[in-house]
Structure 1
Amino acid sequence: MNEAACRIDVWLWRARFAKTRTLAATMVERGAVRLTHQGRQARLDKPSRCVHVGDGLVFAMGGRVIDLTVTAMGERRGPPAEARALYQLVDGG
C-alpha cells in the first residue's frame, strides 16, 4: 500500500467510526460497508480491502446512514478534529 491507500478497517478506526480495529473489521465482515471506487460500488467483505482518497463509503451507524467521501488516509488515530479531516460528508448523509 502507499500513501494514497489504506486498509478499510484501519481507516474506519483512524476516522473514529469504530473504537477499535477489531470492531471496524467486524463491521466490514458483516457486509455493512459499501465502497465506491472509480464509479463501481461494491459491498466490502474483508477488512484488508483498500480504500483510496476520493472513494465513497456508505454504512449505517447509530441508526442513520453515513455517506462520505474519503479525503485523506491519516497517519494515526488522532483527536476528533483530526479524524474529521479524513472525510467529507455527502449532502444528506
Structure 2
Amino acid sequence: MRIDRFLFFIRLIKSRTQAQALLAEGRTRIDGKRVDKPSEEVAVGSVIALPLRGRVRVIRVLCLPARRGPPAEARLAFEEIGEGPPVDGTPAPQ
C-alpha cells in the first residue's frame, strides 16, 4: 500500500494531499530509509517515523486497512512505538 494512502486511512493525516506534502519534505522514514515519494510501499511490520504536530511519531504497521473507517477501526492498523523529541529541537519535558 502507498504510504500517503496508509497515513490517510489510519487518520494521522486529514487528506492524501496533505500526506503527499508532508512526504515531499523528505523527513519521513520507512524502516530507517528516507521516503522520496508518496508512492513508496508500506507493508505489515514496517516501522514509520514522521514529523507530526511538532513531534516525531514512530509507528509500526499491524495491518493494511481496506478503507478509511472510523477512528476505532483505524487505531487497529498500527501501534505507537514511541514519540521522539520535538521537531524544533527543544528538549522533551521530564
Q: TM-score range by the shorter chain?
A: 0.7 to 0.9
The sequence identity of aligned pairs, in percent, is: 40
1:55 aligned partner, one-letter code: S
Q: How does 1:54-73 map to 2 (within 5 A)?
A: 54-73=45-64
Q: Which string of whole-angstrom CA distances, capped at 9 and with x for unpartnered residues, describes residues 26-78 of structure 1?
A: 11111131110xxxx21101001100000000111111211110001101111
Which segments of structure 1 move beyond 4 Å, counting only runs of 4 or more? none
Q: Could you state the TM-score of these two structures normalised by the residue count of structure 2? A: 0.83
Q: CA RMSD in A?
A: 0.9
Q: How does 1:1-93 map to 2 (within 5 A)?
A: 6-36=1-31, 41-90=32-81, 92-93=82-83
Unaligned 5+ runs, structure 1? 1-5
| Count of residue pairs brought into register by the alignment | 83
Q: Could you state the TM-score of these two structures normalised by the residue count of structure 1? A: 0.84
Unaligned 5+ runs, structure 2? 84-94
